[in-house]
Amino acid sequence: MPTPARGARPTYRPLALAAVAAVLAVPVATAPSEAVHAPPRTGFESAAGAHWTGAAEERSLLAAVDRHSDRVSVERIGTTKQGRPLRLVRIGGRAPATLTVLLVCGQHGDEPGGREACLTTIRDLGHSTGPRTRAFLSRTEILVLPTANPDGLAAGTRGNSDGMDINRDHIALRTAEARALAAVVRDHEPDVIVDLHEYAATPPYYEKDLYVLWPRNPNTDGRLHEESRLLSEQWVRPAERDAGFSSGHYGIWTDPVTGEPVSQEAGDGQERILRNTAGIKHAVALLAESRTDPLSDAERADPALGRRRRVSTQLAALEGLFRYADERRDRIRAATAGSRAAGFTGRGPVYLGGADNEPAAPDRILADPPCGYRLTADGFAAVGDELALHGVVSRPDGDGVYVSMRQSARKLIPLLLDERATFHLVNGQPDTAC
């Protein structure tokens, strides 16, 4: 695939610059055709990065944007164990041919940089009067889960109020937060899912401003895998470079002299992580991780400087994302539609392990997958709600239930029901009499 022309300007360049300027608390000139109404401001912006946006400030911001713009709507999609709302913001088009992009922000409560970028983006997309922005939103629906872990954010913890890591729960769906997100993915069928996180550096091997990674799970359709890598390598990472930031591949330590990989410390293909679940569920997907550690004595002396830098790196990534979505929308939609349709053909292996850079062991490959799985009545009663949230279709079968593999969720089903799968929900009985 050709690399985007270096001389071309991103569709959202003036809008992104305005957003970054708001975060950095410095003025920037925008083209008249792309004017952005700045108010309301996030709590983070108002404090110039001295503190993160609070829950009440977020609620006020979202309500104000909702009132201001008929292209924005805010709905409550769930409630945490401690009673905090999980909100989904919808911005832009509703037409059948619309490309849908989902941003998931702050799954880990102690990683607020991506959340701030999402709140700023909601405000800017809702308030922009530019014709390019309006045109983009007429053919693109942006879904944003601005605070995916409200209880963790309130406590400053990675996990939710039960101490569970939401980003390890996208198969079992034990948490209210992961269940709400699964319903969004099922009901809206996003074409692109971007998961915004932060990380702690390990100098000198692992210290880029932003790390990114695509779905590594081998059950990801090849077309989606290619698109996800293109999003990373030809749009997001160049956007980081153009904004003056460094980038790399999440989980890969590199030699500080040669730049060559020396080890992999994270970023595997396990299916329960959102970046991988999203690929299995037919979306182009990307993980974006900004660096939390101070980069200089100035940032150590004034933490607000580091916070603003963290948010700016995420905004640059979103700039690349939106440009990608607009320029490759037809190819993206073809890839996601092809992935969904492939489940009905019933061909090809299903992998219970491995990654795109780590072949699955032979005993972790279902080379000739079953026709489906039978569940007892008790087994279905234990997991029926989770199957429904995953969008898996089942039918009555004697005293139990039958789950056919001939559906769009074909490559997900064994991960849920096969006793050999690492994170399976229940032991289904494979049906090999096709």
Domains located in the chain, CATH noted = 13-338 (3.40.630.10), 348-431 (no CATH)
- The model's pLDDT over 1-45, given as tens digits with 9 standing for 90+, comes to 333 333 333 344 434 444 444 443 333 223 333 444 456 999 999
Task: Give the separation between CA 234 and CA 323, rounded to whole angstroms.
Answer: 11
The pLDDT value recorded for residue 343 is: 96
From 281, 314, 26, select the one nearest 146 (Cα to Cα).
314
The pLDDT value recorded for residue 162 is: 97
Residues 6 or more apart in contact with residue 233 via CB below 8 angstroms: none
Task: Give the separation between CA 192 and CA 213, rounded to whole angstroms.
Answer: 14
Name the pLDDT band for 94 (thresholds 50, 70, 90). confident
The pLDDT value recorded for residue 12 is: 46
170/20: higher pLDDT = 170
Least confident segment among 126-135, 163-172, 358-367: 126-135
Q: Give the pTM.
A: 0.93
Question: How many of the other CB atoms lie within 10 Å of CB of 64?
Answer: 17
- The model's pLDDT over 368-421, given as tens digits with 9 standing for 90+, comes to 999 999 999 999 999 999 999 999 999 999 999 999 999 999 999 999 999 999
The pLDDT value recorded for residue 96 is: 78
- The model's pLDDT over 203-234, given as tens digits with 9 standing for 90+, comes to 999 999 999 999 999 999 999 999 999 999 99
Residue 71 scores a pLDDT above 80:
yes
- The model's pLDDT over 296-349, given as tens digits with 9 standing for 90+, comes to 999 999 999 999 999 999 999 999 999 999 999 999 999 999 999 999 998 899
Task: Give the separation between CA 147 and CA 107, rounded to whole angstroms.
Answer: 7
The pLDDT value recorded for residue 97 is: 78
